[in-house]
Structure 1
């Protein structure tokens, strides 16, 4: 039992909760909280470290291998179609829960907590995010401390990386024989990246314990008091998506619900504790291919695309309920047209946050479309870490679900791999 990876992750969650409670009972800025924060941050950094080489090598090789897959264009548009279908069902659930629980009417949060966010989502940001600023889509953010010291933190735009990799993959296919050494190099590097990735995945129980422990120690559950109905509404909506909508989609497509969730558990649990779809993306792709039986040529295209545009938690449930909360808090009525706009932004507009990904950015896009005050975003910051854990868990689960559904419908899902027991050596 102790050698089972899923059990190890659950054990990490339990240990993390215990350590978090202990750390919260200690003095502020204690050594245990600092240790948990440091270990958790290091683990997320390790996961993110592999994203650029994984995306580049996996997409280039997958485009080259798509020559062996019939109806490649059909796979692409069906993936986007199922992204939209599940997003539509999710945002509908979010609106229904929001109207049922009326989260804004029971809030005791003070109005002076309202503040406009520094980053606002827009359609123009999406267009700008499509244009690479350099060959790797890299950018560097510079911050100045109170003492005047400068620090630089490099980051990358996954959507730009994805588009660049697709372009290079298509070019390699069209070049033909002369590009074979480059494709072989990409395949070799991909194999190495996947091996290193597995080493990092094996550290998941430790990272899980540190991340959940830090969340409990730093945030606790005090903030839920003033926004209890809002948090309840968010988690009820997320539960409907992951416990009703996703199983229904799987069942209608002849896919075993229990087997899917057994295989996808490492993805869901890591999404919950890391709060980063990008950080979990290497694990999502590995489990989708090695555990769920989706062909590599398709999975290495669909999962990175989903990690940038498929966010049922952040882009459907959260903005729908949060918009209703803000409208009720300020006493502004919402009509049928407003609810249709929420649906439109959630289904179509999630891609508009790809240049500046984040649930807060998605919420600002929704509020600005509805004409609601952006200052309402500040009212929800107290419970942001708490709801973000559930949002990300749903995001990454949906990013694995759609490739499985499309592969099953197109009869390219490896049923033998899918039906195998969950293993510890997917990578």
Structure 2
């Protein structure tokens, strides 16, 4: 059975087992078992991130042969990411204003549900932090200690150092240049092989992670916040099933259906782990071996995307803030809604690629607008499930960007070669040149 079908079966089984048996059955602590097995799987994925991404970027940049080639690809990547995130936030703005889940029976939710009062001096609580936070993100691009950056998974610092190392490698003329290049290519091939091994147990890890969530929370947690949940899912669906496929079709000239078939395993892992960074090895594997994107392109675009391109997260941040404003009966002007869009764009760049990290960014935006942070308790009811959905959209957008950039670079084998099927071993980096 193909891997994506195994993972899908594990998801269905997790929903069934988690809702039926809960966290304990016949004296067996199922919740602890789920946490242990799921934690092992997450740790195995995270173990791959630093060596795989570092080796892949260095090898890819060194293979381009010039800093100009790197700059052109980086420019195209950033343009795509800014565009896709802007479209995601705009979609949230339209859906929330049309659907208005914070209004119940023609009245704000605060009229029917007891919410924390809005303080008079709340508006200045976090004023100006969005700008300083943005500069802190830029500061992280140059790590003072590359080993510490790797240990803390500071992706921007790792990416910057790896790109710099790869460019420097193209300028070195000593006999050791090829040795270093072959070393990193070898590390990349070894890490991809380990990724294959980890993915063989992915169905077990996915089952444990999702069953644990369902066993602890239950599906009933969705009922009090059903309108907000459906509004966010609708926005994510529009972005993932309409906006991004149109970009893929119009810019990359490739079939969205073939693309979905190629990256399906990565989306399932993203859904179960709620971690863009943790899914990176799987996404890289799916794009290079199933979709035909070159390792040079995928190794550059995907790590950058997992750091700065958070379409699902930006959409959720905007939707969450507008929902709380509606719940309190706050009529936001057009300029205030534009401010929310800008803040969602900026803060989504700095959101860590780990579960529920967007709550920090939402707190910042609420503080700027003068809305009480305590109201975030409403979001916690459905945040865990929505986190799984929006992470899948994050990964979907990153993968779309890799295909778009690959096609703009003239890669003609993307989503056209029938050899890129499940279980097919990809060519080594040495074979790809």
- TM interval, shorter chain, is 0.7 to 0.9
Report deviation, 1:329: 2.1
DSSP-derived class of the 2:65 partner: helix
Residues of 2 paired with 1:398 and 1:418: CA distance?
A: 22
The 1:114–1:403 alpha-carbon spacing in structure 2 relative to 1, beyond 3 Å, is farther
Report if aligned partners of 2:23, 2:212 keep a CA contact under 8 Å in 1.
Answer: no
Report deviation, 1:112: 4.6
Instruction: Please list the CA deviations of residues 192-219 of structure 1 after superposition, one character each: whole Å capped at 9, or x if unmatched.
Output: 1110111001211111111111111011
Q: Aligned to 2:321, which of 323, 326, 347?
A: 323
The answer to whether 1:92 aligns with 2:90 is yes
Report if aligned partners of 2:403, 2:414 keep a CA contact under 8 Å in 1.
Answer: no
Instruction: Please list the CA deviations of residues 52-76 of structure 1 after superposition, one character each: whole Å capped at 9, or x if unmatched.
Output: 1011111111110111898432221
DSSP-derived class of the 1:34 partner: helix
Q: Counterpart in 2 of 1:270?
A: 269
Instruction: Please list the CA deviations of residues 357-406 of structure 1 after superposition, one character each: whole Å capped at 9, or x if unmatched.
Output: 92112323433444443333333122211110101010111110111012
Q: Aligned to 2:245, which of 247, 251, 270?
A: 247
Q: Counterpart in 2 of 1:136?
A: 147
The 1:217–1:393 alpha-carbon spacing in structure 2 relative to 1, beyond 3 Å, is same
Q: Aligned to 1:123, which of 134, 141, 157?
A: 134
Residues of 2 paired with 1:128 and 1:354: CA distance?
A: 15
The answer to whether 1:260 aligns with 2:259 is yes
Residues of 2 paired with 1:275 and 1:28: CA distance?
A: 30
Report if aligned partners of 1:313, 1:391 keep a CA contact under 8 Å in 2.
Answer: yes
The 1:312–1:89 alpha-carbon spacing in structure 2 relative to 1, beyond 3 Å, is same
The 1:95–1:65 alpha-carbon spacing in structure 2 relative to 1, beyond 3 Å, is same
Q: Counterpart in 2 of 1:145?
A: none
Residues of 2 paired with 1:76 and 1:381: CA distance?
A: 36
DSSP-derived class of the 1:111 partner: coil
The answer to whether 1:409 aligns with 2:378 is no
Residues of 2 paired with 1:185 and 1:114: CA distance?
A: 59
Q: Counterpart in 2 of 1:149?
A: none
Give TM-score, length-normalised by structure 1: 0.88
Residues of 1 paired with 2:233 and 2:298: CA distance?
A: 29
**Structure 2 gaps, min length 5:** 427-433
The answer to whether 1:377 aligns with 2:399 is no
Report deviation, 1:268: 0.8
Report if aligned partners of 2:23, 2:216 keep a CA contact under 8 Å in 1.
Answer: no
**Structure 1 gaps, min length 5:** 140-153
Q: Counterpart in 2 of 1:146?
A: none
Report deviation, 1:225: 2.2
Q: Counterpart in 1 of 2:296?
A: 297
Q: Counterpart in 1 of 2:6?
A: 8
Greater Cα offset, 13-22 or 257-266: 13-22
Q: Counterpart in 2 of 1:17?
A: 15
The answer to whether 1:33 aligns with 2:31 is yes
Q: Aligned to 1:161, which of 148, 158, 168?
A: 158
Residues of 1 paired with 2:27 and 2:85: CA distance?
A: 41
The answer to whether 1:171 aligns with 2:157 is no
The 1:386–1:205 alpha-carbon spacing in structure 2 relative to 1, beyond 3 Å, is same
Residues of 2 paired with 1:414 and 1:342: CA distance?
A: 40
Q: Aligned to 1:57, which of 51, 55, 58?
A: 55
The answer to whether 1:206 aligns with 2:210 is no
The 1:137–1:163 alpha-carbon spacing in structure 2 relative to 1, beyond 3 Å, is farther
Q: CA RMSD in A?
A: 2.9
Residues of 1 paired with 2:18 and 2:68: CA distance?
A: 51
Q: Counterpart in 2 of 1:151?
A: none
Greater Cα offset, 4-13 or 267-276: 4-13
The 1:228–1:384 alpha-carbon spacing in structure 2 relative to 1, beyond 3 Å, is same
Q: Counterpart in 2 of 1:389?
A: 388
Residues of 2 paired with 1:408 and 1:380: CA distance?
A: 39
Structure 1 consecutive aligned stretches of length 4 or more whose deviation exceeds 6 Å: 113-118
Report deviation, 1:138: 3.8
The answer to whether 1:111 aligns with 2:115 is yes
Q: Counterpart in 1 of 2:71?
A: 73
Residues of 2 paired with 1:415 and 1:399: CA distance?
A: 15
Q: Counterpart in 1 of 2:330?
A: 332
